[in-house]
Amino acid sequence: MMKPVFFFVISLILSLSVSAQPITETWPMVHGNALHTSHAQINISFPLQLTHDVPLVSNRAAGVVISEDKIFFSCYGDPNTLYAADLFTGDSLWSFEVPNTGGGNLFCPAVAHGVVLSGGQSGPGLYGLDVNTGEVLWLDTVGTLYDRSPAIFDSLVYLPSNEGLRCLDITTGALLWRSEYGTPQFSPGVDSLHVYFNSYGTNGGVIYAMDRMTGDVVWSTESVRTGHSTSYILDDSLLYYGYEDTLTTFDKMTGDVVWQTSLDTNEVIYSAGMAALSDSFLVVKTRIDGGILNHYRIIERTTGMVRNRYSTIPWQWSAPVLINDYLVECGLNEIRFLDVMTGDSVYGVNNLSFGDSPAQPVAANDRIVLIGNAGRINILQSEPSALLPMTENLDAKLFPNPTSEMVFVQLSLEEPSSVELNTYSLNAKLVSQKDCGYLSRGDHLLSHSLPGLCSGVYIIRIKTERGELSKRVLVE
């Protein structure tokens, strides 16, 4: 069973990449930092409600990240602009116009240590901005950054550029080392030991693992198939690399191929950024050229075995997003939660206002943020009744809490009533029931068994003839 500390970290933004990774401020950063793999565990339950619908200055968002209480996103437009908004209200905090960039900025911001990084497809280079004010702290005059953005580990920034891979100090922008290897279109991956990068050419490319502190090459592959939009997904021991119709997995320490899976020849992985990691599976998103469908492959992380495949509509240019182990998709002003293994719809919210092509959903704490092409920020939360419905004349206490297999409910009834105890997971799934029968007025001590439940937070809903009361319990 998991430790009780899980309760305290469940609302934090999680990364599944490297257990020692200290930066957990941003999610997701698929094109900005391949350590972040579009997988969030947050404190929400169905049904969801739209709590804020805030207009934007720009009408189309590109990369979106969350850091603590702020949302950062770049926008298409002329000129390119980086915006900061309040996570809890959606209100604009500040904006920064990236100089000399023109339209079409797909640069995904990156955030750590009080610095947000911004750039563009043209312009002077990479800006380090103060997260609270947008004030320029430093500029690395490296020139065009194309559509990619840097990876971050500790206080170091790894930036792809025309001059090769650069390593910068995030607080000062000082150049610490530069490698001649690599091309500027790729986003690197980074963990506690290595930074992973690749080059490409007419005869194939090479993947490098470099010491992240010095830039020395630790290992490199033989010629591999690469393209201009490739990026990486990492976990504790493996590097997942996708290009066109092939997904390859390497041992991070040696560079040896662990497994390789080929898809249909007309089915294309535009980049390994089109993937997300669940606890056991790699969710890979592909597209058939000219098609209108999202094609998903559910692949075992350790073996490469394809466990299922299914398609959804409409096609969206964004990586898969997993929130509380649901696959999350956006359609025309709607958001859908799908069963990861089957693709079946579990829950949805309609009548939103982000248009037909939102940026990738992001999530933190108890909120889901959607920024689309309709000039709006949509913020979703659980409806108050989803977790804790209250009645005036009902009082109860739970103990022990945390618990393992049994909890006692101390209940006070003002009138005789039938009583039921129903236990729900945080995604509103009923996991246990108990009919306590018809109880007299007064105080009662009821036992409620919780056998076989996984560690985590659950809701015990106490149902009487005069109303209901919900209480949280932590199962260890």
pLDDT in tens, 412-440: 888 888 888 888 876 667 788 888 888 88
Question: Which CATH code fits 388-475?
Answer: 2.60.40.1930
Give the residue range(s) of CATH 2.130.10.10 domains in the chain: 12-383
Per residue in 157-188, pLDDT (tens digit) is 998 877 788 999 999 999 999 988 766 566 78
Torsion (CA) 106, 107, 111, 114 in degrees, nearest 10? -110
In the prediction, which pLDDT does 231 show?
A: 61
CA pair distance 170, 155, nearest whole angstrom: 5
Per residue in 46-101, pLDDT (tens digit) is 888 888 888 776 666 777 888 888 888 887 665 678 889 898 888 889 999 888 76
Per residue in 321-343, pLDDT (tens digit) is 888 888 988 877 888 898 888 88
User: Looking at the predicted structure, is the pLDDT value of residue 319 above 80?
Assistant: no
Structure tokens at 312: 């959804």
pLDDT above 70 covers a percentage of the chain that reads 76
Look at 90-99, 285-294, 395-404, 405-414 and tell me which has the smallest mean pLDDT.
285-294
CATH superfamily of 12-383: YVTN repeat-like/Quinoprotein amine dehydrogenase (2.130.10.10)
Name the pairing type of β-strands 321-323 and 39-40: parallel
The DSSP annotation for 35-67 comes to: T--SEE--S--SSEEEEEEEE-SSS-EEEEEEE
CA pair distance 296, 320, nearest whole angstrom: 9
Q: pTM score, two decimals?
A: 0.73
With a CB cutoff of 8 Å and minimum separation 6, the contacts of 443 are 410, 411, 412, 413
Q: What is the number of helices (H) and of strands (E) in the chain? A: 2, 41
User: Looking at the predicted structure, is the pLDDT value of residue 1 above 50?
Assistant: no
CA pair distance 89, 290, nearest whole angstrom: 39
3-state secondary structure of 298: strand
In the prediction, which pLDDT does 27 show?
A: 38
Least Cα distance to 52 among 87, 76, 83 occurs for 87
pLDDT band of 386, cuts 50, 70, 90 = very low
Q: What is the largest CA-CA distance in the chain?
A: 82
In the prediction, which pLDDT does 441 show?
A: 84
CA pair distance 207, 240, nearest whole angstrom: 12
Tracing tokens 């009834």 back to the chain, one arrives at 413
In the prediction, which pLDDT does 194 show?
A: 93
Look at 19-33, 250-264, 367-381 and tell me which has the smallest mean pLDDT.
19-33
Average pLDDT value for residue range 446-469: 81
Least Cα distance to 187 among 229, 217, 245 occurs for 229
pLDDT band of 349, cuts 50, 70, 90 = confident
CA pair distance 283, 287, nearest whole angstrom: 14
| Beta-bridge partners for 94 | 84
CB atoms within 10 A of CB 241: 29
User: Looking at the predicted structure, is the pLDDT value of residue 254 above 90?
Assistant: yes
Please state the separation of Cα 146 from the chain's center in Å.
Answer: 23
Q: What is the rounded average pLDDT for all residues in the chain? A: 77
Give the 3-state secondary structure percentages of the chain, helix then strand then coil, rounded to 5.
Answer: 0, 50, 50
CA pair distance 340, 275, nearest whole angstrom: 13
